[in-house]
């Protein structure tokens, strides 16, 4: 794996780890995930990482929305319908393609960030 490819893969694993930590019934914006993963101004990279998500990883991609609370997919798409269904199953209300960020935004406190279980994809793992 080339240096650039290895860095990209490591960045995607950090993004996936943050998304994995979003609790059920909460959402985070693409920009929030990027900042927490150490990818400043990387909202688009979060979208790319989620698009590359292997099917066998149980990552709750549906909990990531735009900063306005709007779902990123076209309302007629399969992905949009799947995201609405999954959020609804977690009691997150989606109205006209939007989630209330005031009500559902994930706002982890310092203890949650510091004392979460160790990351399954730590830096010593070889890809």
Read off the pLDDT of residues 1-28 as tens digits, 9 standing for 90 and up. 566 677 778 889 999 999 999 999 999 9
Domain ranges in the chain?
A: 3-114
Taking the C-alpha atoms of residue 92 and residue 28, their distance in angstroms, rounded to an integer, is 12
Read off the pLDDT of residues 57-103 as tens digits, 9 standing for 90 and up. 889 999 999 999 999 999 999 999 999 999 999 999 999 999 999 99
Taking the C-alpha atoms of residue 15 and residue 112, their distance in angstroms, rounded to an integer, is 17
Mean per-residue pLDDT, 31-40: 93
Asked if 61 contacts 19 with a C-beta cutoff of 8 angstroms, the reply is yes
Higher pLDDT among residues 125 and 61, named by residue: 61
CATH topology of domain 3-114: Arc Repressor Mutant, subunit A (1.10.10)
User: Burial, 39: exposed, middle or buried (Cβ in 10 Å; 0-12, 13-18, 19+)?
Assistant: buried
CA dihedral 11, 12, 14, 17 (to 10 degrees): 180
């Amino acid at each position: 794996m080339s240096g650039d490819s290895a860095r990209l893969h490591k960045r995607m694993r950090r993004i996936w780890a943050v998304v994995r930590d979003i609790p059920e019934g909460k959402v985070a914006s693409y920009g929030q995930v990027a900042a927490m993963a150490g990818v400043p101004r990387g909202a688009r990279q979060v979208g790319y990482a989620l698009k590359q998500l292997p099917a066998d990883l149980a990552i709750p991609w549906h909990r990531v929305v735009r900063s306005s609370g709007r779902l990123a997919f076209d309302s007629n798409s399969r992905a949009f319908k799947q995201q609405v269904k999954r959020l609804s199953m977690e009691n997150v209300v989606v109205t006209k393609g939007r989630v209330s960020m005031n009500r559902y935004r994930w706002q982890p406190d310092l203890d949650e960030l510091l004392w979460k279980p160790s990351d399954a994809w730590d830096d010593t793992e070889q890809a």
